[in-house]
Amino acid sequence: MRNIMRKSFIFLGVFVILFGCIIRDNVFAYTPVELYDNVWRLVNTKFVDQTNNEQDWNKWRHKYDKQIKTNEDAYVAINTMIASLNDPYTKFLDPKEFAEETSSIKGSLKGIGIQIGVKDGKLMVIAPIEDTPAEKAGLLADDEILEIDGVSTKGITVDKAADKIRGKEGTQVTLLIKRKDTEPKSYTITRAEIEVKSISQKTPFDMKVPDDIGYIRLSSFISRNAASEFRSILDQGQNKKGYIIDLRSNPGGLLSNAIYISDMFLDGGTIVSTVDRDGYKETSRAARGVVTKKPVVVLINKGSASASEIFSGAMKDNHRAVIVGEQSFGKGLVQEINKLPYESGVNITIQKYLTPNGTDINKKGITPDIVVELKEEDIKNKNDVQLKKAIEVLNRMTTGQEVAAY
């Protein structure tokens, strides 16, 4: 088995952050034209779709040679070229955007604490980050963002939207939000410095969980310390009869974290496979030794994406956990972050991933074993019906009762 990590970071998130990547240095270019050509070559050799969106990629190589005089010229040309791929996750990052992305991996960013993505041509809230201005303002997963500061988001890219939403701490941004079956509503939110927390044992709405059940809320897989922090909680909870792993509104993060945390529960078996542009398949298997064999319930919702879906898929396909909640987001692609000259970068979709059963969940998501919808009325009443069901299911599992048929 080849090492799926290849000494680099694979990021699988959806923040105003993004989904899925490996960080690499590609500092071969020195002039603006060479910078453009470097990006062309990287896409030509790495993009997951060999047809490059069914086009002749060679037509782009020297298309702007005479027009590119400055770095800014190169940035415009690169963005035009990349847009032709029609992949929302393959994108060029200018120095400002690259710095913001690397800071998010380190665990901090400035904005409102919202994770966004484009789905079916619409700018959507994937999830608000826990305990941030976005969450406190009442934004929810699956909200559609119609306007940012009065300007329509029709046709906007995730990068451009993120740039408009981010800003200096203390300043405000107004979002026009369309929620299912409701009239659009404006939310004016004050920006702040956002700490990206990964692990918490605090429940939404401060709901009480029985003392003999271990509750772990994993809000993202982005922190490089997420796996070790998760392991520490497991080690401290050896007296628990079972665990509820809450991945709701978790947009993803580092692939390594998804693999390592899955490995803590699996005594052998496949965790995830990735397939590249040439059809080469790499498989990551549980091999480190199981930390606990106690029953597990995993909570997911429509804001659970990418690395969350890898973990959920591994636990589901290996019959290691019961999945409770709502259909997940459906992001089954891996991106590589390539560092470029002038402190810029480019994210390129290089692989798709498959669950242990060989399922491609991209644009489909993970289907829960037990579907429980958390309605807006439940949120207003602080009634976490999904967590209540998870507790009920875990209690049944620990007493040997059937859980799949009710």
Catalytic residue among 331, 344, 352, 389: 331
Catalytic residue among 246, 263, 317, 384: 317
Give me the amino acid identity at 107.
Answer: G
- Structure tokens given for 354: 């498959």
Concatenate the DSSP letters of all residues of 37-60 into one string. Answer: HHHHHHHHHH-S-TTTTTS-GGGG
Q: Is 151 helix (H, G, I), strand (E, B) or coil?
A: strand
Q: Are 355 and 383 in contact (CB under 8 A)?
A: no
Q: Mark whether 306 is an active-site residue.
A: yes
| Helices 71-83 and 32-46, packing angle to 10 deg | 20
Q: Are 393 and 322 in contact (CB under 8 A)?
A: yes
Residue in 335, 399, 403 with CA at minimum distance from that of residue 368: 403
CA distance linking residue 203 with residue 363, whole number of Å: 29
Residue 264 has φ and ψ, to the nearest 5°, of -70, -20
Kindly state the helix (H) or strand (E) to which residue 287 belongs, with its residue range: none
Catalytic residue among 306, 308, 328, 344: 306
**Strand partners for 93:** 345
- Structure tokens given for 272: 């995830």
Q: Mark whether 293 is an active-site residue.
A: no
Q: Mark whether 375 is an active-site residue.
A: no
Q: Tokens 């498959």 identify what position?
A: 354
User: Mind telling me the catalytic residues?
Assistant: 306, 317, 331
